[in-house]
Structure 1
């Protein structure tokens, strides 16, 4: 029995559907099958390509940047030597306030009613000076007096009557009576005066005896009387010399307890260690210079790049830049203190910077205008040790020999050597 046409069509449709489905499954399965070569290609690292940056034209400046603390320059503790006083060293007046200024030639304190005058000098006041004293401290004193306009006569290392007269003027200017000599010296003057008076009386008697001998009958030999006059005159001369010496030694002295030498003046009072009615025992006050400075610390290698007189600047924190100068560099253990002084400050800036910490910049070296510059990472060394850069041109890398100049902020100044060319905008390789 044969199938009908309608039945045959159903079979054909079913076979076709199965074939189509099988084809789809085969394609899907085939798309998931990967050969070993394809798998390796897909997991391999991408082909390396050069990382480049353009050659720039810029000014370079090498600098030292550090943070530092502000202070008033030259802070010192002031001590008054009171060992020479006959009474207790009681503070009786002129006690300064913190923030006040002590000035040269003026009293900075009163002890037992006497002034302690501040003078500028590097040698400390370690002894009482008086007529007859000699030494470098006397020379310093006379130089100071002369500078202040109190003429001491010849400026040398000898304390003489001219020095004493200048001391009297110093005290008068400060508003005080000049010091007086020790009582033993004034007593010696009185004693020598009496001796002179006695010698004068002896001379008058000898002269009277000589006149009487000359007026006598026969005008005999008067050599004895003349000898007595000569002896009396010599004795008077000696007595007058002794009186002059006694008066010289009793001239105006400078007591060790009435002067303090400070390296420079004026100075600001930072701290006061005494009070009125108290006893002086050691440091009486701490003072500092009138100029504010910033101190940064650097290592030995950085120190070699710096020197006094170099330009500097520091940031006030609000964008204001203050121009400054390196004042000095001193060793401090295994580091160095670099002291930077501003050229000028307003009163408001001065107050703001008191005991502040600021950022200091000291330019060390700079190029003369704009130069060709590349990142330091672009530099490499050739077989002979020379420097070179890799320039990417038209897809190819070209080695360009260069001379390296100043390096700063991650860049180096370069200039091509020989016939090679390097221009602003050229792409140099810095990595792959």
Structure 2
């Protein structure tokens, strides 16, 4: 078999990890055919190109709605109603019922820790309650003070919600969560007796996101706001952006440490009804600007070590040693003395 035939039949060894690849080829000599004589022209050539190259790393993720959050009950009695799994509950909506009294969702960064009533000390929790009442179209001034305008607004809300009208708000009536939620799972059944401190259901965010448990050693590859490519089941390809990168490493089952990376979809509707589905996430691991590159199959392994390319100039062929850089999109970054943009290098026939 000819030297170029050996090259054409040799497989490119793809080193999966950051999209890296290398071609390991046995070359009889540099500038000569085995047995002597001039180097024959290769069956095909490709241009040396100059431009930007982006190396990538593909990792596994899960398409869902993010981390589950428990909804902790503060009422005691009989559980008389629960939402359906997958239901979305918004501000002022009912999360569940105890003794036929609804427990309402309101938005706030922290759980309620006390009863809010006339005479209670000023605090951020009062302000959050008033902001919710205002958003539910009840008339009051929003501040940190629980005054008579707050009492009147609470009474109006309780009447509209079907709660006993008392003018005070207890932990058994309201659950504060950061925003609207989607019911992920039910942890109790209607008709059972429930107690304070019991988790009755778990919720997630409403929007679909992809969650990746990324090896902590590769955290630098995930930059907030960076674009990513996603491949879902059924060959469905989507795009997204990194929304958050965890800062605390957590131990994984294999003994490694990981950080959580969350990716939002540019067009969530394209994901359809998929939930808890495996996803391949392509991260940009390295970008090289204004570099020379050749097709991966143009690389030759030199007898003395390292790599080279066959530069074709008219009817002559010479081997130029090169240093290989990153691999991306079937090309490899190369640098070497005398190598310039536009040169033709030998490649196997296609």
TM, length-normalised to structure 2: 0.70
2:123 to 117, 131, 135: 135
Distance (Å, rounded) in 2 between the aligned partners of 1:127 and 1:105: 19
Partner of 1:321: 237
Distance (Å, rounded) in 1 between the aligned partners of 2:124 and 2:239: 39
Q: CA deviation at 1:308?
A: 1.6
Q: CA deviation at 1:369?
A: 9.1
1:273-329 deviation per Cα after TM superposition (whole angstroms, max 9, x unaligned): 233321113001111121122212222342112212211232233332122221211
Partner of 2:188: 274
Q: CA deviation at 1:99?
A: 2.1
- Do 1:55 and 1:427's aligned partners in 2 also have CA atoms closer than 8 Å? yes
1:248-283 deviation per Cα after TM superposition (whole angstroms, max 9, x unaligned): xxxx11011100011221x22122223332111300
Partner of 1:294: 210
2:55 to 54, 57, 62: 62
1:73 to 61, 66, 69: 66
TM, length-normalised to structure 1: 0.58
Seen in structure 2, the aligned counterparts of structure 1 residues 254 and 304 have a Cα distance that, compared at 3 Å, is same
Partner of 2:29: 49
Q: CA deviation at 1:156?
A: 2.4
1:1-56 deviation per Cα after TM superposition (whole angstroms, max 9, x unaligned): xxxxxxxxxxxxxxxxxxxxxxxxxxxxxxxxxxxxxxxxxxxxx99324998554
Q: Are 2:316 and 1:336 aligned? A: no
Partner of 1:311: 227
Q: Are 2:116 and 1:116 aligned? A: no
Corresponding residue SS for 1:287: strand
Seen in structure 2, the aligned counterparts of structure 1 residues 116 and 416 have a Cα distance that, compared at 3 Å, is same
Please give the residue correspondences for 1:161-200 in structure 2 after superposition, counting only pairs within 5 Å. Answer: 161-174=148-161, 176-180=162-166
Distance (Å, rounded) in 2 between the aligned partners of 1:47 and 1:169: 86
Seen in structure 2, the aligned counterparts of structure 1 residues 178 and 379 have a Cα distance that, compared at 3 Å, is farther
Distance (Å, rounded) in 1 between the aligned partners of 2:168 and 2:27: 95
Q: CA deviation at 1:124?
A: 0.3
Q: CA deviation at 1:399?
A: 5.7
Partner of 2:280: 359
2:177 to 256, 262, 267: 262
Distance (Å, rounded) in 2 between the aligned partners of 1:169 and 1:159: 15
Relative to its length, the structure with more helix (as a share) is: 1
Please give the residue correspondences for 1:83-122 in structure 2 after superposition, counting only pairs within 5 Å. Answer: 88-91=76-79, 93-122=80-109
Q: What RMSD in Å do the two structures reach over aligned CA positions?
A: 3.6
1:151-206 deviation per Cα after TM superposition (whole angstroms, max 9, x unaligned): 431x32221112222222333443x14532xxxxxxxxxxxxxxxxxxxxxxxxxx
Distance (Å, rounded) in 2 between the aligned partners of 1:173 and 1:308: 43
- Do 2:208 and 2:264's aligned partners in 1 also have CA atoms closer than 8 Å? yes
Q: Which ranges in structure 1 are unaligned for 5 or more consecutive residues?
A: 1-45, 83-87, 181-251, 381-386
Seen in structure 2, the aligned counterparts of structure 1 residues 405 and 144 have a Cα distance that, compared at 3 Å, is farther
Q: CA deviation at 1:75?
A: 1.8
Relative to its length, the structure with more strand (as a share) is: 2
Q: CA deviation at 1:371?
A: 5.3
Seen in structure 2, the aligned counterparts of structure 1 residues 268 and 398 have a Cα distance that, compared at 3 Å, is closer
- Do 1:123 and 1:140's aligned partners in 2 also have CA atoms closer than 8 Å? no
Distance (Å, rounded) in 2 between the aligned partners of 1:390 and 1:344: 43
Please give the residue correspondences for 1:345-356 in structure 2 after superposition, counting only pairs within 5 Å. Answer: 345-346=268-269, 349-351=271-273, 353-356=274-277
Q: Which ranges in structure 2 are unaligned for 5 or more consecutive residues?
A: 1-25, 32-41, 251-256
Distance (Å, rounded) in 1 between the aligned partners of 2:224 and 2:317: 52
Distance (Å, rounded) in 2 between the aligned partners of 1:411 and 1:425: 15
Partner of 1:253: 168
Q: Aligned pairs, how many?
A: 292
